[in-house]
Structure 1
Amino acid sequence: MVEFLIRSITIGVGATAVYDIWGRLLVGLFGLPGSNWTMAGRWFSYIAKGQFTHINITTAPAMPFETMIGWGMHYLVGIIYAGILLAICGLEWGRRPTLLPALILGIVTIFAGWFIMAPAMGFGIASAKAPNVNIIRTVQLVGHCMFGLGLYWTARLISPTWQ
């Protein structure tokens, strides 16, 4: 159980960092839209108060510490996804990772954002209400592929430490 937790945390944090670095590169190099973890933190803060859906989260009153909460939840979700990957594939995958399971999970994780988070925040299914929806969807999908690669790369990086 200790190995499972350590691997979940390490792989999840590493993969989420890869996602974030990729996102910052896209913003800096191409001016593409980046993630707004403040709005995510606002949404999670309202969930804690019992409100799950919003007409538009950007018009909801700000919540205390929403940026910090957003970033924290972003990394916690990455850790949970890494734990799901290890639960499905087993600790042996963490010791000898292969690309395909990590990449598949990375791609699948986009569905939580598209079909739960975006609609609940008032942005529509797969951010359909955004003015630049196709750019946003492409950036999100590629970002989640990068998360999948990050799962693999981080697992590869730490795999020798457990053998």
Structure 2
Amino acid sequence: MEELWGYGAALGTVATITMDGWEWAEARLLGLPRRNYAMLGRWLGHMTRGTFLHDNIGQAAQIRGEAALGQVAHYGVGVVFGIAFLTFTGFSWLALPEPLAALAFGAVTVVMPLCVMQPAFGFGIAAANLPHPWAARARSLVGHLSFGLGLYLAGLLLRWIA
């Protein structure tokens, strides 16, 4: 069990770093706005006050430390996803990391923002209430595919280290 948590945490951390690197490249090379993980922190902070759904998370009252809370939560979710991925694929995947399984898992994780976070933030299911929902959906999918790529790269790294 400890190995699962350790290797899974390593996979999830590297995959989240890869996702953040992809986002940095989108912003730097394509001029796209950076994701604001403070809104994740704001959402979580409001949960402690009993509010789970918002009309518009950007208009909700700020929460002290929301940016830091959002970043910690972003990496925490990445670690949980890394552990889940290793649980589903098993340690045999680490012996011979295969990109399709990692990319498919990354694609599946897009359910979290599309079906949980965006509706809770007031953006509708799959960003339906935003001005350009298909752009938001595509960007979410690409971001989560980059997470899958990070899982694969982390698997190669762990295999090389071991």
Task: Give TM class, smaller chain.
Answer: over 0.9
Deviation at 1:7, TM superposition (A): 0.8
- Show the 5 A alignment for 1:91-130: 91-130=91-130
| Structure 1: runs of 5+ lacking an equivalent | none
Aligned residue for 2:60?
Answer: 60
Distance 2:161 2:30 in 1: 37
Aligned residue for 1:37?
Answer: 37
> Structure 1 vs Structure 2: percent identity of aligned residues?
37
Contact (CA 8 Å) 1:33, 1:136: kept in 2 or not? Answer: no
Query: What's the C-alpha RMSD, in Å, of the aligned pairs?
Result: 1.2
| Structure 2: runs of 5+ lacking an equivalent | none
- Show the 5 A alignment for 1:61-100: 61-100=61-100
Contact (CA 8 Å) 1:7, 1:94: kept in 2 or not? Answer: no
Aligned residue for 2:23?
Answer: 23
- Show the 5 A alignment for 1:129-148: 129-148=129-148
- 1:94-153 deviation line (CA, Å, top 9, x unaligned): 232211211111000101110111001101111112223222221111111111011011
Matching residue's letter, 1:69: L
* Structure-2-length-normalised TM-score: 0.95
Contact (CA 8 Å) 1:95, 1:160: kept in 2 or not? Answer: no
Distance 2:161 2:92 in 1: 13
| Secondary structure of the structure 1 residue equivalent to 2:61 | coil
* Structure-1-length-normalised TM-score: 0.94
